[in-house]
């Protein structure tokens, strides 16, 4: 089902539960790394692979909800599947509002946990892909010359080459050359593609 | 011996009267006074400060066969038997000391036996303000006393009798001889019915059974052809027939449900006034008059059943004979007795249901705390078992089952199942241990401990606490935590009642002393505050669960406190203070030591 390099982290203070979940996830080929406390999880350097966290609400020391707050600023955010022995509705609402993928009550059905874990990993993978793409775009943008930066900023606002030339007090042919160069460097397939990248780089002026 | 102090201003009036020197009318007044003195049925006498007779009126002369001339200058012991004389002197002395009019009950031996009198004694005061004599006006109440006594005895006799037999009515006199009582008098019949009513309400039966017994008794003793009792359903404003005896015992007939304000019965309920129809039902306005005439009925009497001015039901009888005034009086008195009985029965039922509710709430609270603990302790291994089981199935379903892994999963399942069983055993042991633990306690120490807990609040609200803890308290046996809860609850209530006091000192007096109820020793703890107090009307509600006067109160404190004290064989009660605030007191029986 899943032969990739994704990994599931588990934080549960109950050893039996850690072992059982590890075993269950293992049957579908998922790699698992289990922790006894929230602090232990936070103190470990996590491998940079698509992942998710199966988290018990009730933990000694930092609780599951505390840990959720703690990792909220991580980019991309850690996808969390909560599990609890005695969850109440306000608690589950709080967890879900803070972005949890699922809130399962122990004992849960195996398929419920597997589905939630797969969904969480998929979300993480998508987030990671987006982040990777953004990093690539940013790197390409940084490879542009100052003049190319200027031309790109004006191109994506919708100006014609002639207008850009007037704006930059240069010839239309020069603008055309810069434009071809930056399209190439940005690996833009079309003007629309370039605008999307500019959008992600926050180059577009605020819409009127 | 009873006594009552009256208005001290009478003293000055008396003095004025004694020393009045208006002489022109004096002769006429003296004559008038003599007429009154000598013709009154009361005994009137004057004695000097040493107890020597100065004056007695003619009724006194006649009663004790002495003449004014003989008795003057003599003391009580020269005239009356020593015991009597001593009692008279003691009362005189009280008036001399107090210098104000007082009232006593005195006994004296007369020709026809002992007499009881109400004696009003008053001091005579001279111009220097000194008491120089005492005057007495004696009113004989022997007959009234006898009547009261006779009534009590007859009621007692009838009650005794009617518990065993209702057909033959026999009374036993002082010599143990039996005599038959003529049951034909209204008061005797009233006594019989009231006795039946008393017996019925004393039984542990439901209200219907009790009221049926009452109705049957009325048919038996009041010449009633039909006697019925309705109870009002306040929510629906309807009277519901509860008992019917005599010619018609059907509870589901025409008048089984009578709306308040309709028909004669409903009008009695609405107006809360008795209704008498004694003209043979010829008034056309009477509903069902034809029915009554056909049945041979001549009279109808209906009474509202009122408990403290609040309607609880209606009682009515039909009679084939005219009803005498005395019978009507008797019926009214029976109506009172039944209403009172219903009121008490309702109060008992309400109390019981409150107790049941309280027990249920307490159980629920314990259960929810327990279930949270069980959830954590038991659900963990159960969840691991389920997950391992799921993993096993998945492992076995694969083409090449990993048997080592499967075996490990099964081993885990067994281990976790054992763990769950251990938890259950532990919870059971815990429950056993959580039974009330009783130990011998020093209540004084307990009070000091709890007071220390509320000391910050006492200081904040500038409450003046006075403690009067007796040293010779007998030990009591009880649950320390529970009794601490009671003390804490009462103290907290007192402090809260004192917080709102601005115009007087915030006093809290805590006392404990030995208090014996009959042969049983015990401890009485009382907390008296000068706080806002409570309405005397609400005294019964105070201890009801969920009753509260506090904006943030749950209304459980006093109710639980009372249950705890009752559980310890004691009593907890409240009284409003004469001036301000309230007193809460509880009594706990002393620990009598290990039973042999």
Closest by Cα among A14, A163, A191, A108 to B377: A14
- The rounded distance, in Å, linking the Cα atoms of B8 and B12 is 8
Which of B387, B402, B407 has the highest number of chain A CBs within 10 A, making it the mutation to test binding with A? B387
- pLDDT over 70 (residue A116): yes
In sign, the C-alpha dihedral spanning B187, B190, B195, B196 is: positive
Q: What ipTM goes with this model?
A: 0.77
pLDDT at site B380: 86
Q: Which two tokens stand for residue B519?
A: 């042969």
Q: Which two tokens stand for residue B83?
A: 């015991």
φ/ψ (deg, to 5) at A8: -110, 130
pLDDT at site B24: 61
pLDDT at site B220: 87
Residue with tokens 């459980």: B556
pLDDT at site B207: 86
- The rounded distance, in Å, linking the Cα atoms of B515 and B222 is 48
Which of B381, B384, B400 has the highest number of chain A CBs within 10 A, making it the mutation to test binding with A? B384
Give the predicted TM-score (pTM) of the model. 0.39
The 3-class secondary structure across B512-539, one letter per residue, is: EEECCECCECEEEEEEEECCCCCCHHHH
The answer to whether B396 touches B406, Cβ cutoff 8 Å, is: yes
Chain A residues inside the 8 Å CB shell of B368: none
pLDDT band for position A50 (cuts 50, 70, 90): very high
Alpha helix (H) ranges present in B206-302?
A: 207-221, 263-271, 289-294
Give the gap in angstroms from C-alpha B407 to the nearest C-alpha of chain A: 12
Chain B residues inside the 8 Å CB shell of A23: 387-388, 391, 405, 408-409
In sign, the C-alpha dihedral spanning B566, B568, B569, B575 is: negative
pLDDT at site A142: 93
Q: Which two tokens stand for residue B376?
A: 């954590």
In this complex, the residue of B382, B387, B419 whose CB is nearest that of residue A110 is B387
Closest by Cα among B46, B30, B227, B62 to B121: B46
Chain A residues inside the 8 Å CB shell of B383: 17, 20, 83, 85, 106-108
- The rounded distance, in Å, linking the Cα atoms of B370 and B391 is 31
- The rounded distance, in Å, linking the Cα atoms of B475 and B512 is 12
Chain A residues inside the 8 Å CB shell of B416: 16
Closest by Cα among A169, A18, A138 to B416: A18
- pLDDT over 80 (residue A201): yes
Closest by Cα among B476, B438, B442 to B570: B476
Q: What is the pLDDT of residues A127-182, one digit of tens each?
A: 999 999 999 999 999 999 999 999 999 999 889 999 999 999 999 999 999 999 99
pLDDT at site B193: 85
Q: Cα–Cα distances in Å, from A50 out to A12, A114, B99, B337?
A: 21, 15, 104, 85
- The rounded distance, in Å, linking the Cα atoms of B287 and B264 is 8
* DSSP class per residue in B58-103: HHHHHHHT--HHHHTT--GGGTS-HHHHHHHHHHHHHHHHH-S-EE
* DSSP class per residue in B358-374: HHHHHHHHHHHHHHHHH
Write out residues in chain B with pLDDT < 70, as ranges. 1-25, 154-186, 284-285, 352-376, 426-437, 535-557, 594-596
Q: Which two tokens stand for residue B343?
A: 């009121």
Per the DSSP assignment, residues forming a β-bridge with B361 are none
pLDDT at site B406: 94
- The rounded distance, in Å, linking the Cα atoms of B300 and A208 is 95
- Cα three-residue angle B153-B154-B158, rounded to 5 degrees: 120
User: Hey, is the C-beta of B396 within 8 angstroms of any chain A C-beta?
Assistant: no
DSSP B185: S
Chain A residues inside the 8 Å CB shell of B381: 16
Per the DSSP assignment, residues forming a β-bridge with B230 are B241, B314
- The rounded distance, in Å, linking the Cα atoms of B326 and B223 is 13
pLDDT band for position A54 (cuts 50, 70, 90): very high
Q: Which two tokens stand for residue B220?
A: 């038996």
- The rounded distance, in Å, linking the Cα atoms of B592 and B596 is 11
pLDDT at site A93: 86
**Distance from the first to the final alpha carbon of chain B:** 44
φ/ψ (deg, to 5) at B538: -90, 5
Bridge-based pairing state of the strands A7-11 and A51-56? parallel
**Distance from the first to the final alpha carbon of chain A:** 49
B398 and A26 in contact by Cβ < 8 A? no
B382 and A20 in contact by Cβ < 8 A? no
Could you give the 3-state DSSP secondary structure of residue B128? coil
């Amino acid at each position: 089902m899943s032969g990739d390099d994704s990994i599931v982290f588990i934080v549960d203070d109950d050893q039996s539960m850690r072992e059982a979940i590890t075993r269950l996830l293992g049957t579908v080929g998922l790699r698992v790394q289990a922790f006894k406390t929230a602090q232990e999880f936070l103190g470990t350097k996590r491998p940079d692979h698509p992942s998710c966290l199966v988290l018990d609400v009730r933990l000694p020391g930092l609780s599951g909800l505390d840990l959720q707050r703690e990792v909220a600023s991580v980019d991309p955010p850690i996808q969390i599947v909560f599990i609890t022995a005695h969850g109440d509705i306000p608690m589950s609402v709080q967890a879900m509002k803070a972005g949890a993928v699922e809130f399962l009550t122990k004992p849960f059905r195996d398929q419920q946990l597997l589905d939630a874990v797969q969904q969480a990993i998929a979300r993480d993978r998508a987030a990671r892909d987006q982040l990777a793409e953004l990093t690539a775009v940013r790197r390409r943008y940084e490879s542009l010359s100052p003049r190319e930066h200027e031309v790109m900023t004006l191109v994506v606002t919708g100006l014609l080459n002639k207008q850009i030339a007037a704006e930059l007090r240069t010839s239309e042919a020069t603008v055309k050359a810069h434009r071809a160069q930056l399209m190439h460097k940005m690996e833009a397939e079309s003007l629309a593609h370039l605008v999307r990248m500019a959008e992600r780089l926050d180059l577009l002026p605020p819409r009127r | 011996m009873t006594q009552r102090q009256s208005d001290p201003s009478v003293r000055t009036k008396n003095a004025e009267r004694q020393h009045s020197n208006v002489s022109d009318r004096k002769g006429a007044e003296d004559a008038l006074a003599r007429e009154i003195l000598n013709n009154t049925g009361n005994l009137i006498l004057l004695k000097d400060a040493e107890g020597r007779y100065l004056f007695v009126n003619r009724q006194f002369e006649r009663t004790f066969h002495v003449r004014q001339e003989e008795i003057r200058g003599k003391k009580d012991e020269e005239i009356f038997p020593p015991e009597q004389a001593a009692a008279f002197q003691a009362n005189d002395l009280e008036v001399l000391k107090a210098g104000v009019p007082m009232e006593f009950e005195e006994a004296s031996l007369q020709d026809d036996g002992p007499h009881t009198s109400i004696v009003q004694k008053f001091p005579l005061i001279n111009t220097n303000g000194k008491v120089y004599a005492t005057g007495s006006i004696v009113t004989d109440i022997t007959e009234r006393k006898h009547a009261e006594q006779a009534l009590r005895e007859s009621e007692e006799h009838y009650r005794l009798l009617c518990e065993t037999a209702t057909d033959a009515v026999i009374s036993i006199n002082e010599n143990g001889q039996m005599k038959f009582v003529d049951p034909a008098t209204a008061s005797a019949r009233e006594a019989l019915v009231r006795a039946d009513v008393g017996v019925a309400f004393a039984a542990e039966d439901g209200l219907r059974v009790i009221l049926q017994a009452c109705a049957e008794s009325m048919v038996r003793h009041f010449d009633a052809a039909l006697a019925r009792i309705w109870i009002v359903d306040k929510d629906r404003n309807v009277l519901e027939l509860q008992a019917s005896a005599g010619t018609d015992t059907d509870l589901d007939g025409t008048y089984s449900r009578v709306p308040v304000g309709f028909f004669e019965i409903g009008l009695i309920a609405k107006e809360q006034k008795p209704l008498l129809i004694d003209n043979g039902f010829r008034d056309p306005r009477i509903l069902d008059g034809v029915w009554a005439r056909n049945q041979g009925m001549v009279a109808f009497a209906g009474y509202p059943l009122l408990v403290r001015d609040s309607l609880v039901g209606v009682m009515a009888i039909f009679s084939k004979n005219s009803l005498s005034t005395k019978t009507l009086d008797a019926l009214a008195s029976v109506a009172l007795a039944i209403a009172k009985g219903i009121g008490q029965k309702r109060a008992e039922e309400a109390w019981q249901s409150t107790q049941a509710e309280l027990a249920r709430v307490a159980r629920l609270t314990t259960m929810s705390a327990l279930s949270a603990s069980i959830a954590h302790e038991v659900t963990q291994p159960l969840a691991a078992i389920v997950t391992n089981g799921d993993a096993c199935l998945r492992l076995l379903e694969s083409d090449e089952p990993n048997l080592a892994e499967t075996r490990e999963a099964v081993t885990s399942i067994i281990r976790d199942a054992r763990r769950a069983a251990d938890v259950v055993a532990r919870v059971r042991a815990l429950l056993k241990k959580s039974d009330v633990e009783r130990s011998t306690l020093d209540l004084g120490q307990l009070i000091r401990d709890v007071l220390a807990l509320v000391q910050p609040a006492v200081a904040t609200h500038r409450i003046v606490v006075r403690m009067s803890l007796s040293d010779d308290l007998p030990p009591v046996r009880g649950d320390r935590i529970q009794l601490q809860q009671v003390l804490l609850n009462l103290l907290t209530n007192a402090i809260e009642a004192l917080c709102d006091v601005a115009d007087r000192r915030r006093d809290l007096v805590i006392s404990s002393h030995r208090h014996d109820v009959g042969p049983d020793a015990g401890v009485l703890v009382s907390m008296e505050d000068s706080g806002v107090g409570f309405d005397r009307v609400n005294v019964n509600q105070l201890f009801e669960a969920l009753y509260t006067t506090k904006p943030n109160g749950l209304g459980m404190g006093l109710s639980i406190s009372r249950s705890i004290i009752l559980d310890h064989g004691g009593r907890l009660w409240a009284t409003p203070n004469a001036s301000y605030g309230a007193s809460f007191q509880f009594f706990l029986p002393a620990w009598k030591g290990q039973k042999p």
